[in-house]
Structure 1
């Protein structure tokens, strides 16, 4: 069984590399730090043998926690990240009101091609990654990206015309 001193030594030896990996995956210092610390806290609480706690095991644990975090992001955050990707003035607390959201859905139904609507549904409603959307639709990941970019450009243009964004 691994004791607290063993885990502290692992922490000191591998924290920097684990943290860099988490930041690279998440692009967020705070979440990266939290995930690395959570992995070590879970090690303190677990009854794993010392032979299991190797560098590859720790890096895999960090990678998996980061991927779980990315997967668990709420749809609101995914839409905000994509929709406001190049809007420097976007404030996460200034989310569009219900009327604007209804207008966006209306634009999606009336202005966006059926294939692009399907891409948007799979990507944002179902939360599928680009590769999975491409596989489901039988198109390339580049085509998925182009459909999304084109649809979002149309939505932005229409909202800007009406002074909603």
Structure 2
């Protein structure tokens, strides 16, 4: 048991949080850092901070609290490294089956998802972050507000702008694909 944890029940609480939320937090951190090792480090730091928290202080809002800590850790890492880059070649899809072994319909679906992720990757950083929180993590506007520190109305405006931009880019992509073939 880590020395920061005061009791077995608190350690069990942290263990449950790790089991329930670690993979989602790593995906989120990876979307910000574009590096799997750094993403795992950021999430590990968040869970270390959770070990030091009184469960009552984050009760009822544990998930937004964890995402906010991970976000802040990622921003600190980015500031330290002085780098902001685009998503690597869709690490999100790395865990899926080998595309060569899949059915043509599955291959088309994979290509569609890949195209969509590329469009999301091209969004401005703030829009990309909010789109990923909303649609990858299924967060409410309030939860996104809690994580990012933006007002709920600002979250809604930024998401609306991002979705409108994605729709336009998607339509342009479809027109160029149809016209190019």
Indicate whether the TM-score tops 0.5. Answer: no
TM-score range with shorter-chain normalisation? 0.3 to 0.5
Q: TM-score, length-normalised on structure 1?
A: 0.40
